[in-house]
Amino acid sequence: MKNSKKVVSLVPSGQKDPLAQLARNILKELGEDTEREGLVKTPERIAKALRFLTKGYDQDVEEVLNGALFAEEHEEMVILKDISIYSLCEHHLLPFFGKCHVAYLPNKKIVGLSKIARLVDVFARRLQVQERMTNEIAQIMQKVLEPRGVAVVIEAEHLCMQMRGVQKSGSVMITSAMLGAFRNRQETRAEFMKLIRD
């Protein structure tokens, strides 16, 4: 899987941040006075927030997992559920947020639990669609850990649907990616789904 890389804009001292300037132009196009007290520093805040919310482009997903792989004979399902996610929809740059549940069946290797949460965060901190993010998490887990199976389920609310368009608040989108034993064995998949619902 190819990792996306984004060049971080390092603005030399004394020079204007181009991302902040773009934000200032957007505010002006909306009819705002960018010199009024409440908006004077808003373009810089927008630039800083966007860089934070997309910092996943600058992180190597394989390095995140490889730092904490351990040889272990454990063969039963490992689940980390209710991982909070916050991401930006790539279609409108509006947030979507919710929970991610990840499981794998070890094959002589396990990974530190915090690394799974960090992996989820790497993909969430990019412009995303939920379907792709679900698959990306599952695929990299499968590639690095080489387990007997991986399962990922994401449940999220999308503000691009709630604040605009059809304006349906409270609606939740659920996506899943099942690899290996989770795809091939109904009982394994059913056990995972039951455990994340309990």
CATH number of the domain encompassing residue 11:
1.10.286
Helical packing angle, 130-145 and 113-124, nearest 10°: 140
**Is 63 contained in some domain?**
no
Tell me the pTM.
Answer: 0.89
Instruction: Tell me if 169 is assigned to some domain.
Output: yes
Quick check: is 91 catalytic?
yes
Residue 59 belongs to a domain: no
Residue 187 bears catalytic tag: no
Q: Are residues 29 and 78 in the same domain?
A: no
pLDDT tens-digit series, residues 173-198: 999 999 999 999 999 999 999 999 98
Active-site choice (44, 92, 155, 157): 92
- Residue 130: CATH number of its domain: 3.30.1130.10
Domains identified in the chain, total number: 2
Range of the domain at 95: 70-197
Do 188 and 108 lie in one domain? The reply is: yes
Catalytic residue among 62, 91, 131, 146: 91
Q: CA–CA distance from 132 to each of 123, 129, 139, 155 (Å)? A: 9, 6, 10, 13
Mean pLDDT for all residues in the chain: 92
Q: Is 101 a catalytic residue?
A: no
Same domain, 89 and 17: no
Residue 65 lies in a domain: no
Q: Given the structure tokens 């989770």, which residue do they identify?
A: 182
Q: What is the mean predicted confidence (pLDDT) over 126-131? A: 98
Regarding whether 110 and 85 lie in a shared domain, the answer is yes
Active-site residue, 146 included: no
Q: In Å, what is the CA distance from 108 to each residue of 74, 148, 170?
A: 7, 10, 41
